Amino acid sequence: MNKKILILICVIVVLLFSFFFIKGVKKERKLITTTTTKPFFDQEIMAKSFLIGDIKNDKIIYSENENLLTPIASISKLISAMIVLDNMDMGQYIKVTREHQKGLESLKFYLHETVSVKDVLYMGLIMSSNDAFSMLAHTYGYSSFIYKMNMKSDMMGMGNSNFVEPTGLSFENTSTALDLFKLARYIYNNYPLIGEITRKQSHSFVSLEKIGHTAISTDQLLGHIPEIWAGKTGFTDEAGECLLVIYEFEHNNEKYPFVSIVLNSSERFEDTEKMYNWIKDNLNKIINK
């Protein structure tokens, strides 16, 4: 009798252990899910994190891993451009010094050449020049510039973003697709000049010394997608290929701004073109949803 009771108790213990173990595993799986989806999006995207957003209605249309914290490379330059426009005189002239040439790629300006803040900004955004934004930050005051970048991102509600330098070369410049949606929305509503600059395929100018320069855009989609209102490329080994594009569609004489964001991709232009085509093909369904 005692032996049977002992066996019965052992069976009950094993069953209870199995029940709670399985329940715990299911709970753990639920906690690590970070993807949100909408069922009618049917494109294969290579990016680890991406998002399609409706700027006009402040709404996420589709996203995957939108809260994934990741380096964002030169998309950082959009925040830097805001700080320049908020705090620096576009007509101010800067003389190129050796300090401007430290630690980054070969500067596109000559030593002691004199160039305007405006032209340096255009070069920084259009051809994604790291030296251009380093030059602007040092001219303003480097530590103060970085402080203002973080204050600006906080003001926009980008609570998961952090910036340690103005170019995006550092893997510590991090954000999420959701935070970058907030950035895109703010740029569209408040910084039309950033849109005007970044949708230019090139920009030519001369310094005070009459030396000519031309900046060529890094965005291969310009001239191919007519609805592009603004955009910024980015790439580092840690960040992978990144691309943020703001579009402005017209429908029934109204403007509808959307944004696509791809982070840590191996095919940023292909990913973005798929997302653009999907927005265009489903525009009527999206805006009437």
**Which structure tokens are listed for 70?**
């990741």
pLDDT band of 252, cuts 50, 70, 90: confident
Catalytic residue among 76, 128, 129, 175: 128
Please say if 128 is a catalytic residue: yes
Residue keyed to tokens 């494109």 = 43
* Residues 107 and 123: beta-carbon distance below 8 Å: no
Q: Which residues contact 192 (CB under 8 A, 6 or more apart)?
A: none
Predicted pLDDT at 187: 98
pLDDT band at 111 (very low <50, low <70, confident <90, very high): confident
Pick 104 or 134 by higher pLDDT. 134
Determine the average pLDDT of the residues in 89-102.
Answer: 85
pLDDT higher than threshold 90 for residue 22: no
81 or 17, which is more confident? 81
pLDDT beyond 70 at 18? no
Mean pLDDT of 244-254: 94
Angstrom distance (rounded) from CA 81 to CA 147: 14
Contact present, 177 and 261 (Cβ < 8 Å):
yes
Could you say which of 49, 63, 74, 161 is catalytic?
A: 74
pLDDT at 11: 53
| 204 bridge partner residues | 214
Average predicted confidence (pLDDT) for the chain = 87
Mean pLDDT in residue range 207-220: 94
| d(C-alpha 231, C-alpha 243), whole Å | 7
What pTM, to 2 d.p., does this model score? 0.84
Q: HSE (CB half, 13 Å, CA atoms) of 161?
A: 30
CA 222 to chain centre: 17
143 noted as active-site residue: no
Which pLDDT score, from 0 to 100, does residue 98 have? 78
Distance in Å from the first CA to the final CA of the chain: 69
pLDDT digits 0-9 by tens, 128-171: 999 899 999 999 999 999 999 999 999 999 999 999 999 999 99
- Residue 171 half-sphere exposure toward CB, CA atoms < 13 A: 6
Q: Which of 77, 118, 152, 274 is catalytic?
A: 77
Domain ranges in the chain? 36-287
pLDDT computed for residue 270 by the predictor: 97
Question: Quick one: pLDDT at residue 8?
Answer: 54
With a cut of 80, say whether residue 254 has pLDDT above it. Answer: yes
175 flagged as catalytic: no
DSSP string, the chain: -HHHHHHHHHHHHHHHHHHHHHHHHHHHHHHH------TT-------SEEEEEETTTTEEEEEESTT--EE-GGGHHHHHHHHHHHHS-TT-EEE--GGGGSSSSPPSS-TT-EEEHHHHHHHHHHS--HHHHHHHHHHH-HHHHHHHHHHHHHHTT-TT-B-SSSSS-STT-EE-HHHHHHHHHHHHHH-HHHHHHHT-SEEEEE-TT--EEEEE-S-TTTTT-TTEEEEEEEEETTTEEEEEEEEEEEETTEEEEEEEEEEEES-HHHHHHHHHHHHHHTHHHHHT-
The whole-number pLDDT of residue 68 equals 97
- For domain 36-287, give the CATH number: 3.40.710.10
